[in-house]
Amino acid sequence: MTVLDSFSLADKVAVVTGTTRGLGRVLALALAEAGADIVHLNRSANEEVENACRDFGRASTSVFCELNGDADQLGKAIGLAHGWQGRIDILVNSAGIVSRGPILERSVTEINEVLQVDLVAPMHLSLAAARLMIGQGGGKIINIASLMSFQGGLNVAAYATAKSGLAGLTRALANEWGSQGICVNALVPGYIATEINADLRADETRAAEFRTRIPAGRWGTPSDLVGGLIFLASQASNYVNGHLLVIDGGWMSR
């Protein structure tokens, strides 16, 4: 196997949450371009993104998944994804939400929804996928963490709590499953221009403050994460486990 061959995802099956837009869509397309067949776990089917994956010559399908569902519902979604081609090689927990504002002004419903979508759902999806991966000899689970996995942020208490928990979950699952061939890692995006932070980017004063701190001098784009994703999803990272790969233009170095 050549170095480049070790990055190929040919004939792998990748399950990705939240692919209808933003970061999830870009990550799903990157996995397809690298050779993987894609199962989209979304609240509704999206033919446009399915067809975009097929344009790379890969198979693509959608499975309904409500991340607010309970463990049984999430497990059934993984079961359906597995039944499509009889295996799951890669799980990317990409979907996420944020509720901005002082925590004392957030409702219990808002707080619980962020914790459920950003932390509880990835845990149960990972558990369901791991049970299947162990039977096939291993796999890759990639969580999408955040700079808030390391920092408290401002007016995003529920989000920071969930993403900090996701970092801990990544390490804990890597410890438990590493000996069974499952690598659990996380991408840690810096300030990436997506729908989730459109309000911040619309505030030119705050947006400029962020750019000033980032050594790269710009907000990131979803495509900036693609190299790290393919590395963590491929055989090239078979000895990388429990790692949080920060891709932030240098933000954390300041």
**Residues belonging to the active site:** 159
Which tokens hold the place of 210?
């962020």
Q: What angle do CA 199, 205, 211 make, to 5 degrees?
A: 90
DSSP H stretches of helix in the chain: 22-33, 47-54, 71-85, 108-115, 121-136, 157-177, 198-202, 204-213, 226-233
CB burial class (10 A; 0-12, 13-18, 19+) of residue 148? buried
Confirm if 15 and 91 have CB atoms less than 8 A apart: yes
How far is CA 35 from its chain centroid? 18
Rounded to an integer, what distance in angstroms lies between the CA atom of residue 91 and that of residue 39? 9
Nearest to 185 by CA among 90, 76, 67: 90
The half-sphere exposure of 153 on its side-chain side, counting CA atoms within 13 A, is: 24
